[in-house]
Amino acid sequence: MAPPDTAVAVDGAPVEGAPLANPLPVGVIVWLSSELMFFAGLFAAYFTLRSANPVWPSAAADLDEVRAAIFTTVLVVSSLTMHRSVRAAEADRREEAMRWLATTFLLGLVFVVNQALEYAHLGFGIDTDAYGSIFWLLTGFHWLHVVAGLILMLALARLSWAGTRAPVEVHHQVVGYYWHFVDVVWVAVFAAVYLIQ
Protein backbone atom coordinates (compact mmCIF):
# COMPACT_ATOMS: atom_id res chain seq x y z
CA MET A 1 0.00 0.00 0.00
CA ALA A 2 1.30 3.48 -0.94
CA PRO A 3 2.01 5.95 1.85
CA PRO A 4 -0.73 8.61 2.12
CA ASP A 5 1.54 11.41 0.89
CA THR A 6 2.50 9.89 -2.46
CA ALA A 7 0.61 9.68 -5.74
CA VAL A 8 -0.39 6.28 -7.13
CA ALA A 9 0.18 5.30 -10.77
CA VAL A 10 -2.48 3.62 -12.92
CA ASP A 11 -1.14 0.15 -12.12
CA GLY A 12 -1.46 0.85 -8.38
CA ALA A 13 2.26 1.21 -7.71
CA PRO A 14 3.33 4.27 -5.69
CA VAL A 15 5.17 7.02 -7.53
CA GLU A 16 8.03 7.96 -5.25
CA GLY A 17 8.36 11.65 -4.44
CA ALA A 18 5.17 12.68 -6.26
CA PRO A 19 2.89 14.51 -3.79
CA LEU A 20 -0.85 14.12 -3.94
CA ALA A 21 -2.80 17.03 -5.34
CA ASN A 22 -4.42 19.16 -2.68
CA PRO A 23 -8.21 18.79 -3.04
CA LEU A 24 -8.95 22.33 -1.80
CA PRO A 25 -7.89 24.22 -4.97
CA VAL A 26 -9.61 21.62 -7.14
CA GLY A 27 -12.82 21.96 -5.15
CA VAL A 28 -12.70 25.75 -5.30
CA ILE A 29 -12.19 25.69 -9.08
CA VAL A 30 -15.18 23.34 -9.49
CA TRP A 31 -17.27 25.60 -7.25
CA LEU A 32 -16.21 28.71 -9.20
CA SER A 33 -17.29 26.94 -12.38
CA SER A 34 -20.79 26.64 -10.92
CA GLU A 35 -20.64 30.33 -9.98
CA LEU A 36 -19.70 31.11 -13.57
CA MET A 37 -22.84 29.31 -14.73
CA PHE A 38 -24.89 31.33 -12.24
CA PHE A 39 -23.60 34.63 -13.61
CA ALA A 40 -23.93 33.35 -17.19
CA GLY A 41 -27.63 32.91 -16.49
CA LEU A 42 -27.90 36.47 -15.20
CA PHE A 43 -26.09 37.82 -18.27
CA ALA A 44 -28.37 35.77 -20.52
CA ALA A 45 -31.39 37.27 -18.76
CA TYR A 46 -29.92 40.77 -19.10
CA PHE A 47 -29.38 40.49 -22.86
CA THR A 48 -32.72 38.72 -23.40
CA LEU A 49 -34.58 41.52 -21.62
CA ARG A 50 -32.51 44.11 -23.48
CA SER A 51 -33.48 42.63 -26.84
CA ALA A 52 -37.17 42.43 -25.87
CA ASN A 53 -37.51 46.01 -24.63
CA PRO A 54 -37.48 48.86 -27.18
CA VAL A 55 -36.46 51.39 -24.49
CA TRP A 56 -33.22 50.26 -22.83
CA PRO A 57 -32.06 51.28 -20.33
CA SER A 58 -35.24 52.62 -18.79
CA ALA A 59 -35.88 56.34 -18.54
CA ALA A 60 -35.30 56.19 -14.77
CA ALA A 61 -31.76 54.88 -15.21
CA ASP A 62 -29.17 57.60 -14.80
CA LEU A 63 -25.91 55.77 -14.20
CA ASP A 64 -22.60 57.51 -13.63
CA GLU A 65 -20.28 55.73 -16.08
CA VAL A 66 -17.19 57.74 -15.08
CA ARG A 67 -17.63 56.91 -11.40
CA ALA A 68 -18.20 53.26 -12.28
CA ALA A 69 -15.03 53.26 -14.42
CA ILE A 70 -12.98 54.69 -11.54
CA PHE A 71 -14.17 52.04 -9.10
CA THR A 72 -13.77 49.32 -11.70
CA THR A 73 -10.12 50.37 -11.87
CA VAL A 74 -9.96 50.13 -8.07
CA LEU A 75 -11.24 46.55 -8.23
CA VAL A 76 -8.82 45.60 -11.02
CA VAL A 77 -5.90 47.03 -9.00
CA SER A 78 -7.09 44.92 -6.04
CA SER A 79 -6.64 41.85 -8.24
CA LEU A 80 -3.01 42.84 -8.76
CA THR A 81 -2.42 43.32 -5.03
CA MET A 82 -4.04 39.92 -4.35
CA HIS A 83 -1.64 38.38 -6.85
CA ARG A 84 1.27 39.91 -4.93
CA SER A 85 -0.14 38.53 -1.68
CA VAL A 86 -0.38 35.02 -3.13
CA ARG A 87 3.18 35.16 -4.48
CA ALA A 88 4.53 36.34 -1.13
CA ALA A 89 2.65 33.56 0.68
CA GLU A 90 4.06 30.97 -1.74
CA ALA A 91 7.56 32.25 -0.93
CA ASP A 92 6.76 31.98 2.82
CA ARG A 93 7.01 35.75 3.31
CA ARG A 94 4.00 36.02 5.61
CA GLU A 95 4.40 39.64 6.66
CA GLU A 96 4.60 40.78 3.04
CA ALA A 97 1.65 38.55 2.15
CA MET A 98 -0.37 40.12 4.96
CA ARG A 99 0.48 43.66 3.82
CA TRP A 100 -0.66 42.92 0.28
CA LEU A 101 -3.75 41.16 1.62
CA ALA A 102 -4.61 44.21 3.76
CA THR A 103 -4.20 46.45 0.71
CA THR A 104 -6.50 44.17 -1.29
CA PHE A 105 -9.05 44.23 1.52
CA LEU A 106 -9.04 48.03 1.66
CA LEU A 107 -9.46 48.35 -2.12
CA GLY A 108 -12.32 45.85 -2.04
CA LEU A 109 -13.93 47.72 0.83
CA VAL A 110 -13.71 50.98 -1.13
CA PHE A 111 -15.49 49.27 -4.03
CA VAL A 112 -18.22 47.86 -1.76
CA VAL A 113 -18.86 51.22 -0.07
CA ASN A 114 -19.01 53.02 -3.42
CA GLN A 115 -21.49 50.48 -4.78
CA ALA A 116 -23.66 50.85 -1.67
CA LEU A 117 -23.63 54.64 -2.09
CA GLU A 118 -24.60 54.26 -5.75
CA TYR A 119 -27.50 51.99 -4.77
CA ALA A 120 -28.69 54.58 -2.25
CA HIS A 121 -28.96 57.25 -4.97
CA LEU A 122 -30.46 55.24 -7.82
CA GLY A 123 -33.72 56.56 -9.21
CA PHE A 124 -35.17 53.07 -9.72
CA GLY A 125 -35.71 49.91 -7.73
CA ILE A 126 -35.78 46.20 -8.36
CA ASP A 127 -39.55 46.44 -8.95
CA THR A 128 -39.55 49.52 -11.23
CA ASP A 129 -39.34 47.68 -14.54
CA ALA A 130 -37.43 44.89 -16.31
CA TYR A 131 -34.28 47.00 -16.45
CA GLY A 132 -34.43 47.75 -12.74
CA SER A 133 -34.95 44.08 -11.90
CA ILE A 134 -32.00 42.77 -13.89
CA PHE A 135 -29.74 45.68 -12.90
CA TRP A 136 -30.31 45.02 -9.20
CA LEU A 137 -29.99 41.24 -9.60
CA LEU A 138 -26.81 41.35 -11.65
CA THR A 139 -24.97 44.07 -9.73
CA GLY A 140 -26.46 43.07 -6.37
CA PHE A 141 -25.36 39.45 -6.57
CA HIS A 142 -21.91 40.61 -7.62
CA TRP A 143 -21.83 43.03 -4.67
CA LEU A 144 -22.66 40.15 -2.32
CA HIS A 145 -19.83 38.12 -3.83
CA VAL A 146 -17.38 40.96 -3.19
CA VAL A 147 -18.58 41.17 0.43
CA ALA A 148 -18.06 37.40 0.73
CA GLY A 149 -14.53 37.88 -0.64
CA LEU A 150 -13.81 40.45 2.06
CA ILE A 151 -15.01 37.99 4.71
CA LEU A 152 -12.74 35.31 3.23
CA MET A 153 -9.81 37.74 3.46
CA LEU A 154 -10.53 38.37 7.14
CA ALA A 155 -10.59 34.60 7.75
CA LEU A 156 -7.34 34.24 5.81
CA ALA A 157 -5.74 37.03 7.84
CA ARG A 158 -6.73 35.26 11.06
CA LEU A 159 -5.23 32.02 9.77
CA SER A 160 -2.03 33.82 8.77
CA TRP A 161 -1.39 35.71 12.04
CA ALA A 162 2.24 35.91 13.05
CA GLY A 163 3.07 32.98 15.27
CA THR A 164 0.71 30.52 13.62
CA ARG A 165 2.25 27.53 11.92
CA ALA A 166 -0.64 26.70 9.61
CA PRO A 167 0.37 26.29 5.95
CA VAL A 168 -1.09 29.36 4.28
CA GLU A 169 0.08 29.09 0.68
CA VAL A 170 -2.87 27.01 -0.53
CA HIS A 171 -5.35 29.18 1.40
CA HIS A 172 -3.93 32.32 -0.21
CA GLN A 173 -4.19 30.62 -3.59
CA VAL A 174 -7.86 29.70 -3.26
CA VAL A 175 -8.84 33.11 -1.90
CA GLY A 176 -6.87 34.55 -4.82
CA TYR A 177 -8.82 32.38 -7.27
CA TYR A 178 -12.08 33.63 -5.81
CA TRP A 179 -11.01 37.28 -5.83
CA HIS A 180 -9.79 37.15 -9.45
CA PHE A 181 -13.09 35.51 -10.43
CA VAL A 182 -15.06 38.31 -8.74
CA ASP A 183 -12.94 40.93 -10.52
CA VAL A 184 -13.36 39.36 -13.97
CA VAL A 185 -17.12 39.08 -13.48
CA TRP A 186 -17.29 42.76 -12.54
CA VAL A 187 -15.40 43.80 -15.68
CA ALA A 188 -18.06 41.95 -17.69
CA VAL A 189 -20.85 43.57 -15.64
CA PHE A 190 -19.31 47.02 -16.12
CA ALA A 191 -19.00 46.50 -19.87
CA ALA A 192 -22.58 45.23 -20.26
CA VAL A 193 -24.40 47.56 -17.87
CA TYR A 194 -22.40 50.77 -17.98
CA LEU A 195 -20.75 50.78 -21.43
CA ILE A 196 -22.89 48.81 -23.88
CA GLN A 197 -26.20 49.44 -22.06
State in Å, rounded, how far the first CA of the chain is from the last one: 60
Is the pLDDT at 1 greater than 50, yes or no? no
| pTM of the predicted model as reported, rounded to 2 decimal places | 0.85
User: Domains along the chain?
Assistant: 22-196 (1.20.120.80)
Between 9 and 183, name the one with better pLDDT.
Answer: 183
Tens-digit pLDDT profile for residues 19-42: 666 788 889 999 999 999 999 999
The arithmetic mean of pLDDT across residues 41-56, rounded, is 94
Please report which confidence band the pLDDT of residue 94 belongs to, taking 50, 70 and 90 as the band edges.
confident
Which is more confident, 21 or 53? 53
Phi, psi of 7 (to 5 degrees): -75, 155
Tell me the pLDDT band of 2, cut-offs 50, 70 and 90.
very low
Residue 8, H or E segment: strand 7-8
